């Protein structure tokens, strides 16, 4: 959970309220971004559409998963959408980032990665940032929570149609997906949350939502926080038309 010390800003250009969680500057270790990584790169006057994608650092056993990552990159490019992702250079993460950079250029991608994960990427030392011309901009942070806070901040400050997409992945992908869904429910953000269901990968999650609704643990008004898409284009379309959940709690996260 983020601190309740959240700044609420209303931008007329987006028509929504973005709740931006302050980030400790000591938790930002390295960054290739020209702008201050502690502040949004997207001006309130001319916001860009931003989508954060959660996905695996592995490629999976079926080629369908890597093809879906490439397809999503092409769709983001065609809609002039910027990517926020976990900063990895391997698996679905790496394929998504480098494909979009090859199409839209390095400024279209911002990877946010905790320092301990740097040794798992194609870099031998934590001080070696991924090649900006291949993987886009990278910000190295101290911990997992800072990474997730920055992701939510950038999406919250994006233009209408910004949001979150979960491709196939493991424990980390699932945890990130459920966290942003919970954040929507409790009013930390009002952006869309989409699962890109490749070869039925997310079928068990959809069944869990139905079971939780039937058992009374998920309410009818919040059962559609997470929406299913089966193509990259459908992911973007669903975010374009996404309506915040009627069951969103009206909590005040300011102090």
- Whose CA is closest to 47, among 164, 194, 189, 154? 154
Interval 223-247 mean pLDDT: 97
Residues 6+ apart with CB under 8 A from 15: 160
Interval 119-146 mean pLDDT: 82
Token pair for residue 66?
Answer: 């890597």
- Distance from C-alpha of 218 to C-alpha of 237, rounded to nearest angstrom: 25
The strand ranges marked E within 21-99 are 28-31, 50-54, 82-85
Question: Is 48-241 a domain of CATH 3.40.50.450?
Answer: yes
pLDDT tier for residue 118 given thresholds of 50, 70 and 90: confident
- How confident is the model at residue 34, as a pLDDT? 76
Interval 117-141 mean pLDDT: 80
Q: Is the predicted pLDDT of residue 11 greater than 60, yes or no?
A: no
Q: Cα angle at 245 between 243 and 249, to 5 degrees?
A: 140
DSSP letter assigned to residue 49: P
What residue segments make up the domains of the chain, in order of their start? 48-241
Three-state secondary structure call for residue 140: strand
Q: How far is CA 206 from CA 47, 209, 213, 244, in A?
A: 33, 5, 11, 19
Token pair for residue 32?
Answer: 């290739």
pLDDT tens-place string over residues 198-214: 999 999 999 999 999 99
pLDDT tens-place string over residues 22-43: 787 788 888 888 776 665 544 4
H or E stretch at 75: helix 63-78
User: 176: buried, middle or exposed (CB in 10 Å: 19+, 13-18, 0-12)?
Assistant: buried
What residue spans of 110-201 are helical by DSSP H?
A: 132-135, 144-156, 171-185
> Distance between the two ends of the chain, CA-based, in angstroms?
16
Q: What are phi and psi of 70, to 5 degrees?
A: -65, -40
- Distance from C-alpha of 155 to C-alpha of 94, rounded to nearest angstrom: 20
Q: Cα angle at 131 between 124 and 79, to 5 degrees?
A: 135
Q: Is the predicted pLDDT of residue 234 greater than 70, yes or no?
A: yes
């Amino acid at each position: 959970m983020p601190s309740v010390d959240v700044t609420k800003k209303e931008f007329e250009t987006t028509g929504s309220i973005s709740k931006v969680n302050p980030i400790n500057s000591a938790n930002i270790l390295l960054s290739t971004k020209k702008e201050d990584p502690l502040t949004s790169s997207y001006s309130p006057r001319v916001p860009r559409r931003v989508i954060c994608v959660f996905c695996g650092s592995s490629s999976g056993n079926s080629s369908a998963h890597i093809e879906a990552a490439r397809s999503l990159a092409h769709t983001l490019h065609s809609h002039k959408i910027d990517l926020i992702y976990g900063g990895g250079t391997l698996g679905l993460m790496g394929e998504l980032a480098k494909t979009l950079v090859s199409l839209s250029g390095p400024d279209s991608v911002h990877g946010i990665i905790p320092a301990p994960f740097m040794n798992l990427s194609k870099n031998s030392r934590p001080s070696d940032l991924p090649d900006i011309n291949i993987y886009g901009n990278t910000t190295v942070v101290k911990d997992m929570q800072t990474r997730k806070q920055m992701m939510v901040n950038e999406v919250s400050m994006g233009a209408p149609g910004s949001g979150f997409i979960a491709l196939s992945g493991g424990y980390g992908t699932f945890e990130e997906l459920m966290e942003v869904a919970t954040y929507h429910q409790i009013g930390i953000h009002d952006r869309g949350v989409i699962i890109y269901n490749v070869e039925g990968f997310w079928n068990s999650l959809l069944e869990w939502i139905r079971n939780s609704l039937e058992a009374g643990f998920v309410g009818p008004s919040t059962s559609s926080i997470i929406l299913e898409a089966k193509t990259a284009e459908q992911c973007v379309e669903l975010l374009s038309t996404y309506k915040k959940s009627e069951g969103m709690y009206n909590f005040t996260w300011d102090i």
